[in-house]
Structure 1
Amino acid sequence: MAMEGEAINRRAVMAGGLAAMAAVAAPAMPESGALSPAFCLMRDEMEAALTAFRAVRDDLERVKPQLIKQLRRDGRRNFGWYFRQPEVIAESRARMKARAAAEGVFVNPAANNADRVLQLHALDVYEADLGDRFGIARTHFSRTSSA
């Protein structure tokens, strides 16, 4: 529970400072309040993939206790049975699609500061929701995004 609160606080802090960070990180980019057309499409794809992932993840969270009970009751020592369950497979596939959509946002070069803000938001979502606990994507992004 404490980690969840920390993630919410971290998101609130990040959301408040994204625009300032983007302006400082990329001062040579043109000032524009609108996303470029390519980034609008990527944002829509990312939002759709994240919505689908969150729905599937909620389904798995609802079924997971029953799967764990059955795993323990049957005395199964092979966790392969768990990972072959349809809910687990669906969650894994949805996570892969959402990660690919978020990666598509922060890998492409930004045309303006609004695009840069979306990239930073995609990084935050990638780390918080999609399981990049070690900051690998942020490290890669900081190396490749020097304008």
Structure 2
Amino acid sequence: MSAFLSSPLYFSRPTTSPFRKQTCFQSNVRRLTPHACAEEPRTRSSAALSPRVAFDYCTGCRWGLRAGWMAQELLVTFESELGEVALRPTKEAGTFDVWVDQDRVWCREEMRRFPEMKELKQLVRNAVVPGRSLGHSDN
């Protein structure tokens, strides 16, 4: 374990004094302990990042929030199977594509609509772990 992680970390909270206009620090200092994940550094090879799901979305259409929500749902559903989920903004008007590695599993222009979350989970499951049950999303 590194010397940084074994040494105690201290935190002081800035407050504004009612008598002074400048910021001062409280005298009581709280001690923080390092997070358990900090003890073992996470190393990943390029093979460990596979499979990779990527969302290409049009920034002009403001579809970043939709892409982020769908990415978060996939991360929760496939937390141990996915190596990476990426959001890739593009200037190409009307773009909303979902890729698993090099394969495009959804294209909004071809389908003329956005995927339902259930539908997207099934498409990603079929590409990543075909035998896995999705529970209520399979019905």
> Which structure's CA Rg is the greater one?
2
With the length of structure 1 as denominator, give the TM-score of the two structures: 0.22
Higher relative contact order (CA 8 A, sep 6+): 1
With the length of structure 2 as denominator, give the TM-score of the two structures: 0.23
Question: Would you tell me which structure has more helix in proportion to its own residues?
Answer: 1
